Structure 1
Amino acid sequence: MVLDARDIEIPLESHVRYVETGTIGKVIDVRTKDGVEWVMLDKTNLWYRSKLVELLDEKDIKKSTFYDKESDGEVDIEAMKEKARALEDLELDSKVAEGGG
């Protein structure tokens, strides 16, 4: 049994947040080595000490606008490119807005 920072059991396939950076991922593996409990996250394929992650409720998991809801969490590359193009076309001008004061 692997426990999170709040001493709540972390089941496989659950979602957790790494408290140091806010990285969120699904737990794809757990292990205990030399008395230390670890969880592996799908987003990074890295091991995290279980005492440094928090188990999340489904309502705590924010979906990115770049994810296609119908493709089971796959990243929508075209949406990302479109957003990048929109930011490239942004024109900065000092006459656009005035400061309050």
Structure 2
Amino acid sequence: MVLDARDIEIPLDSYVRYVDTGTIGKVVDEKTQDGIDWVKLDKTNMWYRAKLVELLDKKDIKKSAYYDREDDNDVDVDELKEKAMKFEDMELSSHVAEGGG
């Protein structure tokens, strides 16, 4: 039995959040190695210490427009590049906002 940061059992196919970075993913595997419990998340394909993740209710999971689409797990690189170009075209000025007082 693998427990999360709040000592709640983490079942396979449940969703967890890595507390240090906020990474959310579905648990696809779990293991205990040298007395430490680990869970593997589908989104990153990486292992996380179970004591550093927290179990989520399905209602707490917000979908990302780029990555968490159930029908498509690929990131649209062209869409991301287009959004990045919009940021490059912004003009920054020290005269835009003045502090009060």
> TM class, shorter-chain normalised?
0.7 to 0.9
Q: What displacement does 1:68 show?
A: 7.2
TM-score by length of 2: 0.80
> Contact 1:66–1:77 at 8 Å: present in 2 too?
no
Q: What displacement does 1:22 show?
A: 2.1
- Secondary structure class of the residue paired with 2:38: strand
Match of 1:43 in 2: 43
Q: What displacement does 1:38 show?
A: 1.0
Match of 1:74 in 2: 74
Residues 70 and 16 of structure 1, relative CA distance in 2, 3 Å threshold: closer
TM-score by length of 1: 0.80
Q: How do 1:3-82 residues align onto structure 2 when only pairs under 5 Å count?
A: 3-67=3-67, 69=69, 71-82=71-82
Matching residue's letter, 2:8: I
Match of 2:90 in 1: 90
Matching residue's letter, 2:36: V
Percent identity of paired positions between Structure 1 and Structure 2: 71
List gaps (5 residues or longer) in structure 2: none
Q: Find the aligned partners of 2:94 and 2:16 in 1 and give their Cα distance.
A: 43
- Alpha-carbon RMSD across the aligned residues, in angstroms, is 2.1
Matching residue's letter, 1:40: K
Q: Find the aligned partners of 2:68 and 2:10 in 1 and give their Cα distance.
A: 27
